[in-house]
Structure 1
Amino acid sequence: MENIIMITGKVKYTITLDPSVWIFDDRRVDLNTYFSNEKENVNALEEYTKTVSKHWDREITEGAIYPPTLKTEKNFEKVKVMTGTFGIPFKPFLQNAEPADDARALVVQCSDKDYEFPLDEAYELILGFSKNGKPLSLDGPVHVYLGNGSNQENPIKDVTKFKVK
């Protein structure tokens, strides 16, 4: 149970977060490159259309059989997951909790200290959950990174709870 984190406070729904399953989430980001890359505003429908079009084109040109490169791509992805350092955006979790209209801040409660962020900044937080392919068991279960990456070298650690106030 010590790996479970809750979002509570002035929210419509209390959310329970389990970082141990995020490795399978498609929203995960590689923390080694995330803060150094340019941020693009991605339209989800446009991105989906491009992906489907690319798949359709490949099926038309190569047929519906899997070319041998797909096996190597899957192996590469498996190795990447087993050795990577990953995080996940906090925004979808906070949106699903539906903060109250009068909510103004998010408090990140840690074992030794609390950190308070305005709600608009809280939507940009990144939750690190894996380092070099291993879960953050010593000072985790998550590390909190600011959206601009300014605390990349020294993230917020030992997080126990998120509270909207």
Structure 2
Amino acid sequence: MIVQITGNVTYTITLDPTVWIFDDRKIRLEEAFTEDAQNRDEKDELTNAADRFSQEVYQQNLKPPINKTNKGIPRKEREKILENSYVMPIRDFLSYAEIKQDASNVTLETSNGDDVIPLNTLAESFLLFAIDGKPLKEEGPVQLFYRDGSNRSHPIKGIQKMIVN
């Protein structure tokens, strides 16, 4: 149930999508392809830039925003969170891996073979990691949706590894 980002990167990263349900960066699948989600992503970029600046100034580890929205929420609403389908923008994880300048494509190793997509397309994509609040056991651990929703009815399924070329 893990996904590696490896290849032409400074740091190989191992992603565990099973914990993303508690991450504030997640977006409900129904809202992912709306303008609000895109505006939220731009706002998150500014927040992440501020976090990186703070990290450099104070030499502390950058921590993902986990459980901020769950604090002070009544139990029934927290349970409702676990009933939705969610996607995660992949941009932050690519940033943490520090993609090298000469990289241009990504090979997605899936359970059905390999798919090659442009790096900038991947950076603007979402990873589906939960349906009805549960991890993707079949056709998972993640599925890729393009930001524009053009593959919404046919996402890239069963992604197990991302190799930056």
- Would the TM-score normalized by the shorter structure come out above 0.5? yes
CA distance in 2, matches of 1:37, 1:101: 30
1:155 lines up with 2:155 in the alignment = yes
* Paired position in structure 1 for 2:122: 122
- Aligned position for 2:22: 24
TM superposition shift of 1:111: 1.5
- The one-letter code of the counterpart of 2:102 is D
Deviations along 1:67-126, whole A, 9 cap, x unmatched?
xxx96x433531332100001101001111111111111111112221212111111110
Q: Which is higher, the Rg of structure 1 or of structure 2?
A: 1
Residue segments in structure 2 that go unaligned for 5+ positions in a row: 51-70
2:152 pairs with 1:137: no
3-state SS of paired residue (2:30): coil
Partner in structure 2 of residue 87 of structure 1: 87
* Structure 1 gap segments, 5+ residues each: 49-69
Cα root mean square deviation, aligned: 2.0
For normalisation by structure 1, the TM-score amounts to: 0.77
2:9 corresponding residue in structure 1:
11
3-state DSSP class of the match of 1:83?
Answer: coil
TM-score (norm 2): 0.77
2:43 maps to what in 1? Answer: 42
Deviations 1:119-144 (A, max 9, x none): 11111110110001111001111111
Q: Distance in 1 between matches of 2:146 and 2:80?
A: 24
Q: Secondary structure at the match of 1:35?
A: coil
Q: Secondary structure at the match of 2:82?
A: helix
- Give the whole-Å Cα distance in 2 for the aligned partners of 1:76 and 1:106: 41
Cα distance in 2, alignment partners of residues 37 and 85 from structure 1: 18
CA contact (8 A) 2:8 2:164 kept: yes
Query: C-alpha separation between the residues in 1 aligned to 2:140 and 2:99?
Result: 25
Give distance in 1, aligned partners of 2:142 and 2:135: 9
Moved over 4 A (4+): none
Q: Report the Cα distance in structure 2 between the residues aligned to 1:11 and 1:158, rounded to whole angstroms.
A: 22
* Matched AA of 2:147: G
CA distance in 2, matches of 1:76, 1:94: 34
